[in-house]
Structure 1
Amino acid sequence: MSATPVPALRFDDPAVFGRVAVLMGGTSSEREVSLDSGRNVLEALRARGIDAQPVDGIPALVEALAQEKFDRVFNILHGGDGENGVVQGLLQALGVPYTGAGVLGSALTLDKIRTKQVWLSLNLPTPRYVRLDRGADAAAVRAAARSLGLPVIVKPSCEGSSVGVSRVMDEDGLDEAIALAARYPGEMLMEQMVVGDELTVGVLGDIALPSIRIVPRGEWYDYNAKYIAEDTQYLCPGLEGEDELRVRELALAAFRAAGCSGWGRIDVMRSRATGAPYLLEVNTAPGMTSHSLVPKAAAQLGIGFEELCWRILEQTV
C-alpha cells in the first residue's frame, strides 16, 4: 500500500487559478480551528505564486463575490454553514468553483445520523445508534443506553472537532453527557462505543491516503488532543498488509456512498476484540493545522503541504 500511485500535477502555472478566496473563520464552534487552517492554506498557496486572499465568513464572501473580486474559493470554513451545503449551494448558484464536496455530500455528512442511515442501507459497517431529540427525558436516555449496552458515546449530530462529545461508561454519566450535547443545535446521537484503535483515512480525489492510527496520551482523542496537546502519537500507516488495504477501501466506499468528492477524511474505529472496522463520520473540510491528519497522511506519499493545497485547488479547474 505504500506504493499508492500519485498522479502528476495537472497544472504548473499559478495563473490558471485566477484570484482565489480562502474562506475561513465564520461563526461556528470551530471558528478558531478554521482560522488556523485558513492561515496555513493561505501561506501555502501564496508560496506557490497563487493570488490568494483571506475571507472571514460567508457575508464577507457574498460581498466580495458581488464585486467580482474572486474566481474560485478554497473552502476551509469548518462546521456550520461551511460544511452543511449552504456555502456550496451559494457558490454553485453563482457559478463559482470551490473546493471539497458539493451540496449533497456536504449536507448529508454534517448530519452524522443521516450519514449512518445511508451507510447502513449499503451494508457498510458503523456502530449501532439511537437518535435522541433535544428534549429527550431521562427515562428515554437510559432506555437508549440499555438498548445499545454501555459504554456509549453521546454527541451532537451536527458538530465536528469532538465538540460536545462524551464517553459514558455507566448510567451515572448520562445526564451530564446529554446536557453537554444539548448545548448545540439539532438532534443528539448515542452510539455504541467501539473499544479499540482510532483510525482516520484521508481522501484526495480518487486516492485513499495511508491510514493514521491515533494514540492520545489521555483516554481518548478529544479537542485538546486534536489541537493543543503535543504528545499525541500519529502512526502512519496505521495498519499493515490486508488490514490497511481493507480500511482504505472501506473509507473510499463510505466517502463515495455519502455523495462526497474532492477531498475529505473518514474517521474509523477498529475493534480490538475482532479487528473489524466501523465507520464513524466524514469530514468534508478537514483541518489544515499543524496537528491535522490529512497533511500527515499525504506526506507519507511524498506530497508536502504546499503541494497538497495545490492539488486540492486543482480539483476546481
Structure 2
Amino acid sequence: MKKATVGILFGGNSAEYKISLKSAYSIITSLNTEKYEPVLIGITKEGSWKRYTGSADTIPEDTWNGQNCVPASILPDKSFHGLIEQRDGQLVCTHLDAVFPVLHGKNGEDGTIQGLLELSGIPYVGCNVLSSSIGMDKDISHHIVKDAGFRVPETVSITGKVSEEQLKKIGNGLGYPLFVKPANGGSSFGVTKVENSANLLAAVADAQKYDNKICIEEAIVGCEVGCSLLGKGDDLTVGEVDQIVLSHGFFRIHQESHPETDSENSTVRVPADVSSDIQKRIKETAKAIYSVLGCTGLARIDMFLTPDHEVVFNEINTMPGFTSYSRYPRMMKAAGISLSQVTDAAIQLALQTN
C-alpha cells in the first residue's frame, strides 16, 4: 500500500514556538512510518519556512535550522497540492496528501494556517478555519458558549489604551481576585492573577506584550478540569477527564525551567478525583461545547469545577500540546488510546473530511 505523504508543520511565529517543537517531536516519533511518509516543515520564530531533512532529534532542542534546511512554502493554489522547495537554484514540488499543523498560538492555531491549507486544497489535521479562529479568541468563544446556555467567567475585554480609572471601574465590577489574559494566547503567557487594583495596570501592560486585545476575567472558585476530544459530529472519541491539583497560585503550564520533570505548584491527576457522575457531566459538557464551536478534528476543552459541582467553561485549545507532559495525550492514554493511535486517527479523519 502506498504511503500517504504527511507534512508536519512545526515552530511558528508565536510565543509558543518552543512548545510546538516539543509537540511536533512527539507527533513525528509516534507516526506509523509503514502508513505515512513524513515531510518535516519548520517555521522559524521570524516566520521563515524551511523544508527540514535532518534528524528529528534536533527539533525539540531548537537546533534544526541549519545545513539540512532549504527555503520552502505552500502555495494557495489547488492545482499544486504540495510544498515548493528551492534546491540548487531550482524549484522542486513535493506532493502532500495531508498536513499536520503542530503549531500553537498565533499564526498557527488561530485559523491563519488553516486558511492557507484550505486555499491550497490540502487536507489538514484539526479544526477548520472558523472554529480555530473562534477558539483562539477567549472573548468571542466565551460569548458563543454563554449564548448556548453554559456558564463562563464574567469577562470584560479591552483594546488599546485604557486609563487607570477605567480599569479600576472594571476591577470593582468583577471583584477581586481576577485574571488578566491576552485574548489570543496560550500556555499561560501574559496571564496574571490580580489580587487588588494596585496591580491591575501592570498586569494589563504585561498581557499587551502578547496581544492588543485583553480579557479581564472573574476568578472562578474551584479546580480546573479538562477533556480531550477527537472526531467530528456525534462520532467522538473522549479521553479521561483530568484535574489540576494546585498547592498555591494558578496553573501555568510550560512556564517552569524543566516542565518535563516537575511543576512548582501543580500536579495533573488523570482520571480526575471526582465521582463517575460528575466525570460524565464534564464529558457531556465538553462534547456540547465542541459542537457549539463547530469543531472537527481534535481539541482539548478546559473547564472549572466549582465546590458545588457546577461546570464552568474556561477555554478551548484547537491544537493542544503533545509534549511528553501535555494534558491531551495523558487523557487519551488513560482511556487506553496511545499517541500513535491518536495521530493515525487524526490524519485519517483529515483525509476523509477534506
Please state if 1:220 is matched with 2:250: yes
Q: Distance in 1 between matches of 2:123 and 2:260?
A: 33
- Give the counterpart of 1:230 among 262, 267, 272: 262
Determine what percentage of the aligned residue pairs are the same residue.
27
Q: Give the C-alpha shift of residue 289 in structure 1.
A: 0.2
- Give the counterpart of 1:122 among 121, 145, 148: 148
Contact 2:227 2:240 (8 Å CA) reproduced: yes
| 2:331 aligned partner | 297
| 1:211 aligned partner | 241
Q: Which amino acid aligns with 2:306?
A: S
Report the secondary structure of 2:227's partner residue.
strand
Q: Give the C-alpha shift of residue 228 in structure 1.
A: 5.0
Please state if 1:242 is matched with 2:274: no
The residue correspondences of 1:86-101 to structure 2 (distance < 5 A) are 86-101=112-127
Report the secondary structure of 1:201's partner residue.
strand
Q: Which amino acid aligns with 2:107?
A: D
Q: Give the C-alpha shift of residue 35 in structure 1.
A: 0.6
Please state if 1:73 is matched with 2:103: no
Equivalenced residue count is: 302
Q: Give the C-alpha shift of residue 210 in structure 1.
A: 1.5
Please state if 1:312 is matched with 2:333: no
Please state if 1:84 is matched with 2:110: yes
Q: Distance in 2 between matches of 1:227 and 1:138?
A: 36
Q: Distance in 2 between matches of 1:124 and 1:306?
A: 33
Q: Give the C-alpha shift of residue 181 in structure 1.
A: 0.5
Please state if 1:197 is matched with 2:223: yes
Q: Which amino acid aligns with 1:230?
A: D
The TM-score normalised by the length of structure 1 is 0.90
Q: Which amino acid aligns with 2:127?
A: A
Contact 2:153 2:314 (8 Å CA) reproduced: yes
Contact 1:157 1:188 (8 Å CA) reproduced: yes
Contact 2:32 2:344 (8 Å CA) reproduced: no
Deviations 1:60-90 (A, max 9, x none): 4426624233221011111112111111111
In structure 1, list runs of 5 or more residues that go unmatched: 1-12
Q: Do the aligned partners of residues 216 and 56 (structure 1) sit closer, same or farther apart at CA in structure 2, a change above 3 Å counting?
A: farther
- Give the counterpart of 1:187 among 213, 224, 228: 213
Deviations 1:294-314 (A, max 9, x none): 111111221112112111111
Across the aligned residues of Structure 1 and Structure 2, the Cα RMSD in angstroms comes to 1.8
| 2:173 aligned partner | 147
Q: Distance in 2 between matches of 1:96 and 1:159?
A: 26
Q: Distance in 2 between matches of 1:218 and 1:85?
A: 35
| 1:62 aligned partner | 74
Q: Distance in 1 between matches of 2:305 and 2:159?
A: 28
Larger RCO: Structure 1 or Structure 2 (Cα < 8 Å, ≥ 6 residues apart)? Answer: 1
Report the secondary structure of 1:310's partner residue.
helix
Rg comparison, structure with higher value: 2
Q: Distance in 1 between matches of 2:131 and 2:182?
A: 19
Contact 1:108 1:114 (8 Å CA) reproduced: yes
- Range 215-224 or range 96-105, more displaced: 215-224
Query: Which one has the bigger helix percentage?
Result: 1
- Range 56-65 or range 250-259, more displaced: 56-65
Q: Which amino acid aligns with 2:83?
A: L
Contact 1:46 1:52 (8 Å CA) reproduced: no
Q: Give the C-alpha shift of residue 251 in structure 1.
A: 0.9
Q: Give the C-alpha shift of residue 208 in structure 1.
A: 2.8
Report the secondary structure of 1:78's partner residue.
coil
Contact 1:23 1:61 (8 Å CA) reproduced: no
Contact 2:8 2:41 (8 Å CA) reproduced: yes
Q: Give the C-alpha shift of residue 219 in structure 1.
A: 2.1
Q: Distance in 1 between matches of 2:304 and 2:161?
A: 29
